[in-house]
Amino acid sequence: MQYLKTVFTFILLVKHTLGLSPVIFIPGDGGSQLEAKLNKSTVVHYICSKTSADYFNIWLNLELLVPYVIDCWVDNLRLEYDNVTRTTKNPPGVELRVPGWGNPEPVEWLDPSHDKTGAYFNSIADSLVKIGYQRNVSLRGAPYDFRKAPNENAEFFVKLKQLVEETYAMNNKSSVTLLVHSMGGSMALHFLRLQKQSWKDQYIRRLISLSTPWAGAVKALKVFAIGDDLGSYMLSQSTLRTEQITCPSLAWLLPSPNFWKPSEILVQTDRFNYTINDLQKLFNDMELPNAWEMRKDTQQYSQDFSAPGVEVHCLYGHNISTVEKLVYKSGTWLDGTPTLATGDGDGTVNLRSLTACERWRKPPTKWWKPFKKTYPVKSLALPNAEHLKILHDPRVIEYITTVMGN
């Protein structure tokens, strides 16, 4: 009798699993573990290690984000830009890799020790496991070097296509759901545009997006200006800025001219008011010429805002103060700390960028387009769902499990 009950339970489980769309998590900026190996001839501080016997976790490693030690971390994680090759590289003596391709663990937990500070996709993954998903089979992860933009992540897009096809095959040829957060949504959008529609129709079931800055964010300007403390009062935003401003992904996340008007002031000073059309002057005045070069390298990936050609679920937070403009005091020009004028958003991304996905709902403008296949776009605005905390929001988890369980 017990044997028959076990067999019956197994049959029900298999039947349920056959109906599930496997999930691939694509993380946002800062959403992948990173490992480094050192063989340096010089260091910025006597307490910094020049060498390491093997790779070690550099992101997220809270032990490295303490006074003095953080200077070593910044010097190891920063990038060096070459305006001839239009690419970046790690500092001399630093090798960096992204661990755990295909495995969801490195994007569920940014800290390998599973410290709650580094919790990322784990709450969503746990909820999916409860309805029948299995890690490394129907739950996969696609980590990448989030410091870089699409122009330097070509290998990622090739590997992601292979991962989608592999996951599809492993799960009884069930089409895949891409579950993305923040910049991961922008990466997924670019990936989908690289694929033929016939491939997407076969392999992609849907795209579920959380807090994606589809059109960039003014906060990227704020980071270039004064840095970001990652939400911790223990960290110095000016110290972190040294590393942050070397990342092409930050330039990619600057506001899009498709969504910000030339009449809107982004940085206000007593000498000049900078708009979306004045970014080259702004970065030159800030003495950040590489920022403008990286902007030129990445702007092509923001110019096209055509629909991805798959079903989209677009979830985002709002009703949280989000920087819209930097205002410098009279007499300071671009020195010192500006006042941050705020508007609606999720605390990181402006509302106009979060809701940009809703443009894909617009009816076709040409007579022949109604005969073309369309893909639904569903959006859900969640009051007070902060940019990062949305990953653990019960409303989001309920929405995802409901969609994925059907």
Mean pLDDT of the chain: 92
The model carries a pTM of: 0.93
pLDDT of residue 51: 97
Segment 91-101, tens digit of pLDDT: 999 999 999 99
DSSP-based three-state secondary structure for 107: helix
Transcribe 120-159 into DSSP letters: -SHHHHHHHHHTT--BTTTEEE----TTS-GGG-HHHHHH
Q: Who contacts 22 (Cβ-Cβ below 8 Å, separation ≥6)?
A: 133, 137, 138, 139, 140, 167, 168, 170, 171, 174, 176, 177
Average pLDDT of the segment spanning 324-342: 94
190 is catalytic: no
Q: Who contacts 394 (Cβ-Cβ below 8 Å, separation ≥6)?
A: none
182 is catalytic: yes
pLDDT of residue 371: 55
Structural domains for the chain: 22-31+120-405 (3.40.50.1820)
pLDDT confidence band for 373 (50 / 70 / 90): confident
16 is catalytic: no
Catalytic residue among 182, 211, 256, 302: 182
Average pLDDT of the segment spanning 25-34: 97
Catalytic residue among 174, 175, 387, 393: 387
Segment 34-92, tens digit of pLDDT: 999 999 999 999 999 999 999 999 999 989 999 899 999 999 999 999 999 999 999 99
